Amino acid sequence: MSFLSRLFGLYEPPKPVELPPICDPVFGDLTWDLKYRWWQGSFASDSGETFAIIVDAPSDAETHPTDYQRQAFQAIIPRLAELKLLSVRDYLPYFNADGVEGEPYTEAELSGEVVPGDIHVESDLDVTVSWVDTPNELLGGHALTARVSPDGEATFGLEG
């Protein structure tokens, strides 16, 4: 019967499952977000910045973080300061070209105006790190992002 219901478009996705909090050996304390089907927690970097952590469920069948996701996360941690600088450096020409009043911003000034957002470890092992606006909203409510693929290649952007 389930084959026929899928064939005729009557397929219903699996019912959301509530999972108890876990203490992951790498990610720390995580809670399950039933709506988005991912784990969430927080991470304090060596520099004292606190990021939200989001860890996608690897699949419907395997909901807990994998060793591969842990390794992807651990590979990003030593690069946080570098990725922030490269994100700022990538966006700065566009930011200054959009008509900032007064003198153009420097890398250091713009870097000082953004704060940690989140570190999102996806099921495909891409990791996206974001830095968001301070109350000054210089980015118009957007976030600077660095997306790092499993091979270490990073791309930068403005999202939100």
pLDDT tens-digit series, residues 95-136:
888 756 677 889 999 898 899 999 999 999 999 999 998 777
Give the Cα separation of 105 and 48 in Å (integer).
25
Return the H-helix or E-strand segment holding 39.
Answer: strand 38-44
Secondary structure letter of residue 88 according to DSSP: H
Tokens of 23: 């203490």
What count of other Cβ atoms lies within 10 Å of the Cβ of residue 110?
22
CB 106 within 8 A of CB 112: no
More confident residue, 133 or 148: 148
52-87 confidence digits (pLDDT tens): 999 999 887 788 999 999 999 999 999 999 999 999
Sign of CA dihedral 80, 85, 91, 96: positive
User: Helices in 2-160 by DSSP H: which ranges?
Assistant: 2-7, 67-76, 80-97, 107-113
Average pLDDT, the chain: 88
CB 136 within 8 A of CB 154: no
Amino acid 139: pLDDT: 84
Q: What is the percentage of the chain residues whose pLDDT exceeds 70? A: 87
